[in-house]
Chain A
Amino acid sequence: MSILFAQLVNLLGAVLLLLAFAMISQRRILSLIDLFTLQGATLVVSTAAVGYVTQQPHLYVSAGLTLALKVVLIPALLHRVVDRLDVRRDVETLINIPTTMLIGIALVIFAFALSAPIAKLSSTIAGGSLGIALACVLLSFLMMITRTKAVPQVIGFLAMENGLFFAATCATYGMPMVVELGIGLDVLIGVLILGVFMFQIREQFDSLDIHHLERLKDD
């Protein structure tokens, strides 16, 4: 039974990784938000599955928290921002998408190589997925670097948080409850602040292009 669930968690990890790649290659902002929502939903299922097999009730709370924050609340907020600012157009990337994908593959190999010695030591059912989690974090990082618009950068930031949560569930059966609540609160407040910022940046520069934010330099 637990082997089956371990397989399930690994499968969900693979789905997370696939979604991370899909996000890197996606140009449309609305699709990006949908992909982010899907990633959140996958995370909820995997957290709940680990919770079921290990009989750790606090993982259900954690899954519920992720559901409320990353599947319902934050995507709704992002949709609102995109509607109000009318930034549905396609997003340009700094590096063209095939090259980004190749860099992404290199990152995944790096993540697996780095976590292989640790994953072997893990006592949890899905310890092997640690590499996938690290790969998700690095891919989101790549997405933040290659995007020039504010909204995709924020989505990259949030996707990175998803990868970290997946790491926490598969490596350690989740962090202590109080820490998880604190992290959730920080993420929520962070998104709210970034949302307000986007409106202000728009007001100041008449665009959400981060290229405008390159004036502060050392002369």
Chain B
Amino acid sequence: MTELEPLLFVLGIPLAGGGVLALWGHRDSAMALNVGFSFATFLAALVLTGQVIADGPRFVWQREFFIDALNVFLVTLTAFVAFTTAIFSRPYMRVERDHGKMTPPRLRLYHSMYQLFSFTMLLGLMTNNIGILWVAMEAATLTTVLLVSVYRTAASLEAAWKYFILCGVGIAQALFGTVLLYMAAERVIGPEQATLLWTDLAAIKTQLNPNIVTIAFAFLFIGYGTKVGLVPLHNWLPDAHAEGPTPVSAVLSGLLLNVALYAILRCKVLTDGALGMPLAGRMMIGFGLLSVLVASFLLMRQRDVKRMFAYSSIEHMGLMTFAFGLGGPVANFAGLLHMTVHSLIKSAIFFTVGHAAQKAGTQVMDDIRGLIRISPTIAWGMMLGSLAILGMPPFGVFASEFLIITTAMREQPWATPLLLVALGVAFASIFSRVQPMVFGDTSLGRLAHPPALVPVFVHLGLGLMLGLYIPPWLDAWYREAARMIGG
């Protein structure tokens, strides 16, 4: 190959960034350097995306990497959210350093792990090998465990330990599922040529033994479902979101959960092909719906603002799982759209919540009051973000939820009232909590470093745009990916 492969940069830049920041991550310039590395990764991802849009799907490096309609939009989204979160992280970490919560070694660890986390996410998305996908997911767990525990407080250690043990056990089940898939492939192609390459498996998916694949999917679904945060395997998620630094909460909700769901989708395509009946879809409908219901009722009881929005993430991941479970072009389209807008808006909410919690010196919602008096932009960001995530038109979440619910009415009518009740309860609980935080009397002070508000409004603006107008290339892209997932 004569020209330079953009994929090399998409993976190489965050990996190099992890190394460089492990050495210099404590310096003043490191926060800017972190933004720089993330920006370079985002540019490389844009170039890659442009090429894929122009030339179609492609293999890279002996077919070990595969970029198609399903993962290319997630690559761009991941690189973009990682970049904007790095911008947000800059003033956030300055304040944390001034408060003495971040010492130089912790800053080094934080910055290095932030870049390595981006690397594992992008590796997991682009690899064609479902074994490497597993390795990348496990490595993502390891990096985020270190990020969650970075404050070394009792609560953050507890959250990180729980996260590690639960996700470690969960993901071990996914490895067993992967072994079984490999075994099914070996029976078709023979031990000499057997591979774990997804494209090879997809080519022979109708010949895979249905018995083996059914059990394999059950294990894979439990394993990756733990990382998606599906009820009843969600216990790690609120703790990990609440106790780590806020930029980490933003990337956990915005990126990690998406990539785990992406892993399930890849496995679902193989399972549907082998079984010829929608068993995988039914499991996803069941667990998705359960997650939406349980999470929306648990939302009411939360007092910590980051915990509350973590439960909201469980609810939305459940909704996406439900949508992909329904299958078919419309529900898949809605699921993909929901993935995009949820990433953008939830991370924007965490940006505002992070600054608000720093101002108030607490994450307890009762102690955060009257943000609008002290910093109107953060207050409006939080208000608009909450309205957007609750599904108010004209934001994108409204469009995707509308599509999901109308499809559910046609395909699984019994589920519609349950979904509507859950969405209503979530609306009431989140809105009644956010309203006094934004309005009301205040005693909050100013922050030493001006917050980064551009990312908040860029994310909300994109979320708004996707609700009103989806550009034709993006629309074609969603349709193509939705067709691939099938149903």
Contacts and interface: CB of A to CB of B under 8 A. Distances in A.
Contact of A186 (B129, B135, B243): B135
A183 B175 contact: yes
B186 to A, nearest CB: 6
A182 B152 CA distance: 28
Interface stretch (B25-33, B137-145, B375-383, B396-404): B137-145
Interface string B348-367: 00000000000000000000
Interface footprint category on A: 35 or more
A123 B301 contact: no
B169 A157 contact: yes
Contacts of B194: 172
Interface in B105-142: 129, 131-132, 134-135, 138-139, 142
Nearest to A186: B138
Given A118-B212, A164-B179, A218-B302, A176 B195 contact: yes
Given A213-B158, A215-B154, A216-B159, A168 B129 contact: no
With most chain A CB atoms within 10 A of its CB, the pick from B138, B146, B162, B303 is B138
A176 B145 CA distance: 27
Say whether chain B's binding surface is mostly helix, strand, loop, or mixed.
helix
Contacts, number: 136
B172 A161 contact: yes
Contacts of B135: 179, 182-183, 185-186
B191 A205 contact: no
Contact of B239 (A115, A153, A216): A216
Given A117-B211, A121-B209, A172-B191, 12 more contacts: A118-B183, A118-B212, A121-B211, A144-B169, A164-B172, A172-B186, A175-B178, A176-B129, A176-B195, A176-B196, A182-B131, A200-B152
26 contacts: A118-B180, A118-B211, A118-B215, A121-B211, A153-B165, A157-B169, A164-B179, A167-B176, A171-B179, A172-B186, A175-B131, A175-B178, A175-B196, A179-B132, A182-B132, A183-B135, A185-B135, A190-B138, A197-B157, A204-B152, A204-B153, A205-B154, A212-B154, A213-B158, A216-B239, A216-B242
Interface of A: 54, 114-115, 117-118, 121-124, 134, 137, 141, 144, 150, 153, 157, 160-161, 164, 167-168, 171-173, 175-176, 178-179, 182-183, 185-186, 189-190, 193-194, 197, 200-201, 204-205, 210, 212-216, 218-219
